[in-house]
Amino acid sequence: MSADISADPATSILRTEDLTIRFGGLTALRQVNFAVERGEIRAIIGPNGAGKSTFFNCLTGILRPSSGRISFNGGDITGLSPDRISQKGVARSYQITNILPNATTLENVRIAAQSRRHGWSLLTRYQGYRDIIEKAEAVLEALGLHSKAGELAANLSHGEQRNLEIGIALATEPQLLCLDEPTAGMSAAETHDTMELVRRIANNLTILIVEHDMQVVMGLAHRITVLHYGEILAEGTPSEIQQNPRVLEVYLKT
């Protein structure tokens, strides 16, 4: 089943058309038609094996689609490398924390900011780039981690490390931020803080979020896309998804 992609292309930041990916005889995604409006928080949910991670990996260049098309800001990004897609304004976090544990909190964000603004070189004297430091400090302020700027990332709490990874993505100045299980392993308090963080940063961003915690999904998303066996089962507002008989049957089990 394909989703309705009747949204105006001028307001859609991301669109897929008949996106398909096969691994040998297995079809992991089957003709997925998907559109996200600029400024939206969209959640992608579904049972294990539904194709959520595969979909994220296609959007961010880690996997190359077998067929179909991905467009971002009206331009074709199908099959581009992850760094090319990042340069165009797409950033993501990962299920497994992707920080540099032996660098400070500020260094983690500074390196990401430098990669966007000045190109990456270990030999570059970044101290000369005042804009880079200011950008990194502003990101830490938004994360609520400014007081931990000089702390080694390895010494942060689990929740702080997960939020630092969001900061690393933010430092690349994306237009679209893809968050993969951002609250995984968090306490209730950390989850609440991360939800507040996502709401704050969403003012200037479009956000795609894959998340198992239904309270997080229902509390954050403007719209929800439900994947099932690599196809879109349903799309709608949180209340529509909660009342959708097919979703209740295959996923929510309520």
Percent of all residues in the chain with a pLDDT value above 70, rounded to a whole number: 89
* 120-150 tens-digit pLDDT: 455 455 555 778 888 899 999 988 999 999 9
The whole-angstrom separation of Cα 241 and Cα 247 is 7
**6 confidence band (pLDDT: 50, 70, 90):** very low
pLDDT tops 70 at residue 246: yes
Closest CA to 247 of 58, 44, 54, 4: 44
Asked if the model's pLDDT at residue 55 lies above 80, the reply is yes
> What is d(CA 189, CA 195) in angstroms, rounded to the nearest whole number?
10
Q: Which pLDDT does position 15 carry in this prediction?
A: 97
Q: Calculate what percentage of the chain has a pLDDT beyond 90.
A: 66
pLDDT at 221 over 60: yes
Contacts of 151 (CB under 8 A, 6+ apart): 104, 105
Instruction: Tokens for 229, please give them.
Output: 């066996």
Domain spans of the chain? 1-89+174-254, 101-173
Q: Looking at residues 101-107, what average pLDDT do you find?
A: 92
pLDDT band at 203 (very low <50, low <70, confident <90, very high): confident
Question: Is residue 4 predicted with pLDDT exceeding 50?
Answer: no
Provide the pLDDT confidence category of residue 3 given band limits of 50, 70 and 90. very low
Helix (H) or strand (E) holding 15: strand 12-23
pLDDT on residue 1 = 42
Question: CB under 8 Å to 223, separation ≥6 — which residues?
Answer: 40, 42, 43, 235, 236, 237
Instruction: Work out the average pLDDT over 208-227.
Output: 94
Under 8 Å between Cβ of 45 and 224: yes
DSSP reduced 3-state for 173: coil
- Who contacts 36 (Cβ-Cβ below 8 Å, separation ≥6)? 12, 13, 14, 15, 42, 176, 206, 208
Pick one of 3.60.15.10, 3.40.47.10, 3.40.50.300, 3.30.70.380 as the CATH number of 1-89+174-254: 3.40.50.300
Task: Give Cβ neighbours of residue 242 (< 8 Å, ≥ 6 apart).
Answer: 218, 252
